[in-house]
Chain A
Amino acid sequence: MAEELRIVLRNYGKIDPLNIDSYIAQGGYKALEKARGTDQKGLIDEVKKSGLRGRGGAGFNCGQKWWFAYMAQADQKYVVCNADEGEPGTYKDRLIMQNDPQSLLEGMAICAYAIGADKGYIYCRGEYPYVVDVLNQAIAQAKDKGVLGDFDIEVRMGAGAYVCGEETALIESIEGSRGEPRFKPPFPPAQGLWQKPTIVNNVETFANIPVIVDKGAEWFAAIGAPDYPGTKVFTLTGDINNKTFFEVPTNTTIREIVYKLGGGIPGDRKFKAVQIGGTSGAFIPEADLDTPVAFDAMAAVGATLGSGAVFVLDDSRDIVDVVTRIAGFFEHESCGKCAPCREGTMRTAELMEKIEAGEGSIDDVALLEKIGRVMSYSCLCGLGQAAPTPVLSTIRHFKADYNAKLL
């Protein structure tokens, strides 16, 4: 175990990303051709059977999502790629887009064929202008080659709001409105962009598609954890020797990622915690390191996979300080639309600062837990629901660090 397996990064370093012929020479666009030779239902069935689940964080069955959009009756449907990679410490989507943009376009084109869409958007993070250049060149080349057929793709840029990674906020942003989430249902496959059926998938999800179509659902379903098959790209940051990225099957454990692939902690310091999935991810203690990086296994220990960011802390780190900074991040990034997130992120930041300053009491910790609990199931969107996770998981696993700072 603990071997890399590159599916979405299959062409990394092997092709010239700015030359479509280089992609085609590696077998690119054969999957699209094959898909177009299959009937739509059969194609969607294949994706469903592969068990591929969304790599953006929510982990919804991809083929099932496509089925909803396929079934929706409408004169216009859209395919949207969520490339608003805003999680601190995450750059997996950038890796794919910079090094193999055509596989993303091919994945989107297969989706477009499956659901009956002829227009696609890539919503790219505002801090990635150089990636936008790559994407635009790739789209122009694909159009010249005629490989996309009548499927048109346009790149739209975000303006730096973290919340626009939430699919409905992203849709609002493409529509030209303030980037704020919509309530669901209706879900985008029923009413999305301009109220039309829309598939929003992450870059990594789309990059899996050509391979699944090419090699078949059974091949894919056999890789990694059965309930979350395939691979996952992780980007390692923090107190770890190999600050780089890896693509591994989903039955790999966290311990393997940290100690084998990541090369362990510098200076042989002791492990304290690892946060997986980005800023809203749970802090995982030593005791849970043998959890496989699959969706349901992670959920069982109160964690998520999220974006695949792996942030390691050694025992010299002050957890309360780290979480206080995270609380400030969410206070800043809450869009302000729903009351529990707007008020809750502000109150959480306020209470964390109080505790961090040595002025907090046991009641403040209890209040933090209450706010977090309420936010986690009352907020309008995933941002607010996940924002308290770092607070709640550290109070649970590292209570002593909090107690040490209380009055």
Chain B
Amino acid sequence: MVNITINGMNVSVPEGSTILQAAQQVGIHIPTLCYHPDQSIKANCRVCVCEVEGNRLLQAACSAPVFEGMVVRTNTPKVLEARKTIVEMILANHPQDCLNCIRNGACELQTLAEELIIRDNPFELMIRGYDKDTSTPSLFRDPDKCVLCRRCIEACSVIQSVNALGIEGRGNNAMVVPSLGKDLIDSPCVMCGQCIHACPVGAIGEIENIDQFLAAVADPETIVVTQIAPAVRLAIAEEIGMATGELPMDVFVNGLRQIGFDYVLHTNFTADLTILEEGNELLKRVKEGGTLPMFTSCSPGWINFCETFYPDLLDNLSTCKSPQQMFGALVKTYWAEKMNISPAKIFSVSIMPCVAKKFEADRPEMRDSGYKDVDIVLTTREIGRLFRQSGIDFNKLPPSNFDSWMGAYTGAAVIFGASGGVMEAALRTVYEVVTGNTLEDVNFTTIRGFDGIKEATVDLNGLEVNVAIAHSLSNARKLMDQVRAGESPYHFIEIMACPGGCIGGGGQPITKRNQKRIERIDAIYLEDEGLSIRKSHENPEVKVLYDEFLHEPLGHKSHELLHTHYHDKKKKYL
């Protein structure tokens, strides 16, 4: 332990601690901007500078290690002048449009300006004048707002190994740019949106589809139907001032009715359906010598990644559409028919923890119903905004049930939202299909949790199946390189693009901390345990769907509506 003094208070901290960590221990808040608790130290904003006795230079609290007898002062006039001047200069280079910024009220620079009591900025406002990049349907970049903290670059390169972002130019011309200085759509960007979580300001955000939604609601002829992804409910609570997972599903459903949805259905329904299609696809590949290992295909960021970086492995991808797109194809065919509603009148909205889903819904091949299968995708954050706009008090809102046909789901569908969940759901079903026995304990706990790569071997009556699970694309890359080298021992690999799975998706409430993601994972399994049906093949509405419409997994109708194909998107320069 190292003994130091901060603002006259003695504190003992482990060797190797930084001033910032030591200050936290004695309850002293040091303002930061480039600091990110789950990333490497950057020390480039210099906002956290402090005085250290014996040193002429101020020390960045985030990077300066403590030493025995160190005397630190965090709020001297010298320190305050430095912090304030630095933030004033950053602000003088930053558009002053906080009131219509996507991060209004949730901006680290805004908080900093408030904390440092910035009033009359002596520096002349000089906006750099970059074009806003709206080239992707998923996320925008507004470089004028960029504070050059570089957290997005680390998210993209270290966590995702995508390397779509880098620094170009120097001095005040330095800017975060997509590869080769082109638009995001021309870069290897997979649209996972992890950069959005990393960004302290509004320099990167989701492309909002709120206006299209409100226009559809306003049109009396249009039937607005929604599907909710498994990872949304527990996180939406964070958007409306509740603890993670605290908003009951049936109250959430009523909230959606309040903001104008005519029918509230659930992506969980097609998550269960996915298990039946994908589980049978796996068994078929194993029995008939198809391409193995088979990869899951529910995460659109992952699909983009595979198409961009591993186009040689596209045959390994399950041909199953994601639950969102299965739902989209069915809602304008099966459901429309069953409800006696013209599919032309249906406006299909999915609520997703994901920004890559916006891109997926726009893929030209996703029109198997004869219409655009999913008209728009709203993220958890956008729904949060709509909820706040509506003025609903969720503590007082009575519950409401899902609408029928495509509203029923099992615990297996719920866990799709966490890394390992698709695999566990598949195993719950595949086990029973292959062995004919009832699975007594449905909990495959070894493949749960936040480890980057998880693996297991499952004995299906003598048929040993090796499975692996990865979340975050840097981990996916490790498994893919193994497959490419012909050294993969696995039959089935689940990949989720985002840290922790969909609960950590690019469309979820802004969070920097993996700890928050772990909380959300816990909430997912709690929900699963609370359900009486926890195996996808026992979903009663899915049974009806097969009886009345699809007839069998991998059948003709399934192929027409529920399966897809992929494209080689390797960039010339990669």
Chain A interface category by residue count: 20 to 34
Whether the Cβ atoms of B63 and A183 lie closer than 8 Å is: yes
Q: Is A203 an interface residue when CB atoms closer than 8 A count as contact?
A: no
List 18 A–B pairs whose Cβ atoms lie within 8 Å, in order of A's numbering: A183-B43, A185-B64, A185-B65, A333-B170, A336-B174, A338-B44, A339-B45, A339-B86, A339-B89, A340-B46, A342-B148, A342-B172, A371-B85, A371-B89, A374-B85, A374-B86, A378-B82, A385-B57
Tell me if A377 and B171 are in contact (CB < 8 A): no
A112 at the interface (CB under 8 A from B): no
Q: Does A71 touch B at the CB level, under 8 Å?
A: no
Contact of A377 with B58 at beta-carbon distance under 8 Å, contacts A337-B44, A367-B122 already known: yes
Take A337-B174, A339-B148 as given contacts and tell me if A374 and B44 are in contact as well, using a CB distance cutoff of 8 Å: no
Q: Which residue of B lies closest to A186 (CB)?
A: B65
Residue of A nearest to B85 (CB): A374
Write the residues of chain A forming the contact surface with B, with a CB cutoff of 8 angstroms: 161, 178, 183, 185, 331-340, 342-347, 350, 363, 367, 370-371, 373-374, 377-380, 385
- Which residue of B47, B64, B81, B122 is within 8 Å of A339 (Cβ)? B47
Q: Is B410 an interface residue (CB 8 A)?
A: no
Q: B179-191, CB under 8 A of A: which get 1 and which 0?
A: 0000000000000
Q: Is the interface of A mostly helix, strand, loop or mixed?
A: helix
In the complex the two chains form, is A178's CB within 8 Å of B167's CB? yes
**A residues within 8 A CB of B167?**
178, 336
Say whether A334 contacts B44, CB under 8 Å: no
Q: How far is the CA of A346 from the CA of B174 in the complex (A)?
A: 12
- Binding site of B, secondary structure by majority: helix, strand, loop or mixed? loop
A346 pairs with B171, CB closer than 8 A: yes
Decide: A343 near B172, CB < 8 A? Known: A185-B65, A374-B82, A380-B46: yes
Q: Which of B64, B65, B89 is within 8 Å of A343, CB to CB?
A: B89
Asked if B122 and A334 make an inter-chain contact with CB atoms under 8 angstroms apart, the answer reads no
Q: How far is the CA of A329 from the CA of B56 in the complex (A)?
A: 25
Which residues from chain B contact A185 at a C-beta distance below 8 Å?
64-65
In the complex, whether B60 has a CB less than 8 A from a CB of chain A is yes
Q: Which residue of B lies closest to A379 (CB)?
A: B46
Q: Is B49 an interface residue (CB 8 A)?
A: yes
Would you call B549 an interface residue if the criterion is a C-beta within 8 Å of the partner chain's C-beta atoms? no
Alpha-carbon distance between A380 and B45 when the two chains are bound, in angstroms: 9
Closest residue of A by beta carbon distance from B173: A336
- Asked whether A347 lies within 8 Å of B89 as measured between CB atoms, the reply is yes
The answer to whether B169 touches A378 (Cβ under 8 A) is no
Of A183, A337, A363, the residue contacting B41 (CB under 8 A) is: A183
B508 within 8 A of A: no
The CA-CA distance from A49 to B452 in the complex, in Å, is 53
Q: How far in angstroms is the closest Cβ of chain A from B432? A: 52
Asked if residues A380 and B89 are in contact (CB atoms below 8 Å), the reply is: no
Chain B CB count within 10 A is highest, among A339, A370, A385, for: A339
CA distance A373 to B58 in the complex (A): 11
For A178, the chain B residues whose CB sits under 8 A away are: 167
- Ranked nearest first, the 6 interchain pairs of A and B with the lowest CB-CB distance are A336-B174, A343-B89, A334-B171, A183-B43, A346-B172, A374-B85
- Residues of chain A lying within 8 A (CB to CB) of residue B60: 183, 380
Closest CB-CB distance, A361 to chain B, in whole Å? Answer: 12
Q: Would you call B170 and A334 a contact (CB within 8 A)?
A: yes
Nearest opposing residue in chain A for B57, CB measure: A377
B386 interface residue (CB < 8 Å to A): no
Q: How far is A309 from B81 in the complex, measured between Cα atoms in Å?
A: 33
B93 part of interface (Cβ distance < 8 Å): yes
Residue from A183, A336, A350 within 8 A of B171 (CB atoms)? A336
